[in-house]
Structure 1
Amino acid sequence: MVSQKILLVLALLGGAGFISLAVWSIYFGIKYKANSEEAKEIVTKARASAHYYMLYVCIFVWGMTIMIDQSILFTVSNLSIFILFIFGMQCAVELIASMYYVGLKKNATSKVIG
């Protein structure tokens, strides 16, 4: 059985990732209001990379728990916390990816203009 402290940390990490993505989405929506095509491109790339990397994280986490413990670490009662953690981590990866793609877009426009 997973200790309650670990479950609390997972829940807090998931919630922090979700809240940070929500704040970033509000800021991003206000900043790129006039240029919606550029914003759609950045958001699409960020979401695609978040889904891609989180798929490997899920496979790795479930695979390692079975290999190390010879049993499944998360039971049905703890599955909701694990899903919240994965959702929060996906939000965090999407946040980092969107910041990365915004930086790439800024560098590309500054090199063309400058």
Structure 2
Amino acid sequence: MAETFQGRVIIGRADAESLAIQVLNFIVADVDRIIQFLNITGLQPETIRESATSSHFLLGVLEYVAKDDELLKAIDQDLKIRPAAILAAIVHLSPEPEEKPLNAKVAATPQLPRRNLFH
């Protein structure tokens, strides 16, 4: 089953970023939560707004939340965003793994004929 956010299925980067911004707003709205977030991330209050335009930062917000069960429960209760939706958004914001090209030398090595030892 696909996870939803605000009644829509999370289908891409834009939905994932929208979810992350809503989660960030939830953190910023509570003094204790924002102080803990700032202490862990090392950010300053003045830099949060500027940082929020970066999808890497938004990914970090979701990863931060995903590691805190109490925060996940609070977000589920208050915002009606299920933990699985947060995990789906993390997947959408995560960079694609780099494809490593096959080593040409290995790919060009001819296969040796197999011998049947049991004639």
TM-score by length of 2: 0.30
Give the structure, 1 or 2, with the largest relative contact order (CA under 8 Å, sep 6 or more): 1
Larger Rg: 2
| Higher share in helix | 1
